[in-house]
Every structure is written in structure tokens, then in C-alpha cells.
Structure 1
Amino acid sequence: MPAPILSIEQLHEFLDREFPQIHVNGRVLAVTEVSDGRLVMRLDPSDRHLRPGNTVSGPSMVMLADVAAYAIILAHIGPVALAVTTNLNINFLRKPTLAPIFCECRLLKLGNRLAVVDALLTQEGAEPVAQATATYSIPPR
């Protein structure tokens, strides 16, 4: 896989500028690592992310997987705001608790028009809570 061309700081600046709505109720997402074909994003869930039974909601985990997939693609192709999700499939594996969730993404394919990302969502000291595969359409450059 190619080396990333955007740093963690550049990714945060881009997301803050182009998608400020992801931080409407406070900053809960942050890229923690980026390297060749790999990125880790952290979600710090709050009460608003919970469902009955004190579990983090599915939509919150989908958001994490989708934003992390977008971030790994941008880290490797540059700030292309119009790259869009064309498919996202998620498998919920275990009940997540109200604790940070980490999404480790790996680029499976990075082509000129499509990118495919595998995303594994985990919590500290626990088995994976979800796994997603996302496909993004990359606009012509």
C-alpha cells in the first residue's frame, strides 16, 4: 500500500473545515494513528450514543466506521471532499459498553475510482464489537 500523504493533524483540519457537523455535540472522534494502508480512529461515546441496556448504538458505530474509512482514503489520496460512500456493510458482533471504541481501518483496494476498506471496531481488552466493509467512489482527479 502507498504511504499516507496527509498527517493526523491535516486530516483533523480537513474534517473540521469540511464536516464541522461531526462535532456538533462535542468532539468525540479523533484519528490516533495513520501509516501505510492503515488508520485508527477513536470514538469517545457519551450518554447520547447509548441505547437501552447501556449499549453504544448501532448508528454510532456505523458513523465511526464510515468516517474512519473516509479518513484512511483521504490520508492516502489527499483532501478530496467529494469521495463518497457507495456501500457500507456492518456486522455487529458484541455489545459495546460506554467506553472508547477504536476503529482500525485497512485499505483493501485503492484504485483510481474505487476504494475498499476493512474496519474492525474494538474496545480495550475486549473481543471486536463490530466489523465493517466500506466502498467509496473517488471522483476523477
Structure 2
Amino acid sequence: MSRESIERYFTAFNAGDTETMLALVSEDVQHFVNQGEMRAGRAKFAEFCSHMGVSYRETLRDMVIFVSEDGTRAAAEFTVHGQYLQTDPGLPEARGQTYVLPAGSFFTLSGGQITRITTFYNLQDWITQVSA
């Protein structure tokens, strides 16, 4: 179930299907955003997804998923292909710039749901790309 949950999560992400993503995370999910604060709970995760959908259009490619033997931990490595649509406060001005970034996410799973998501990418690389 854990590999299937992670695959469904990323399929939903690529489809812009926030409802499916929300159904896959626990009510008390811990979402650790790259270079940001931890957001606790499904409602905060929903707010983050909504914000991201307005400011960015992203597709994740070259996906490789790793799952622990006991199915409680997972990781994924992928390449983000994105477009910066609307200026995010504190970041460079959005002008429809495109970017390509290597990234990864780490997960904890329990009871068939995702209870932790931690995502990493090189923010300075992204800033350099959208500032060019």
C-alpha cells in the first residue's frame, strides 16, 4: 500500500488533483516545506496546495520511488519542470519564467495514510533560473 500511496500522491500532483492528495494525507500530517516552516494538519496542507496552484505550474518527471521494507518510510527523487505564474512574496517577480530542478521528497506512512512529507530542492538554483 505504501508504494501505491506515494505513486497516487505524485500522479495526483501532476494532474493538479488536490482533492486526491488531501485524501492521501492524515488529518495531522506534518508538511516540511523546503526552506520554510513545518505546516501541521490537512487544512494547512490544503492552504499550501492552493497557494502553489496559483503561483506555480509544475510537473514532476523522472520519478524514482524508494520504500522501506516495513512500508512506513518512503522517498522519491524526481525532476521538477515548472513555470512561475504569480509572484510569491519575498521571491523574484514572476513573469511566466520556466525552470527545471532536481528535487526529492521523504514520507512517513501509517495506517494507509501519509503522515509526514518533507521536500527538498536547491532554492538558490531556482532563484537563479527565474532571475535570468
TM-score by length of 2: 0.30
> Which structure has greater strand proportion?
2
> Which structure has greater helix proportion?
2
TM-score by length of 1: 0.29
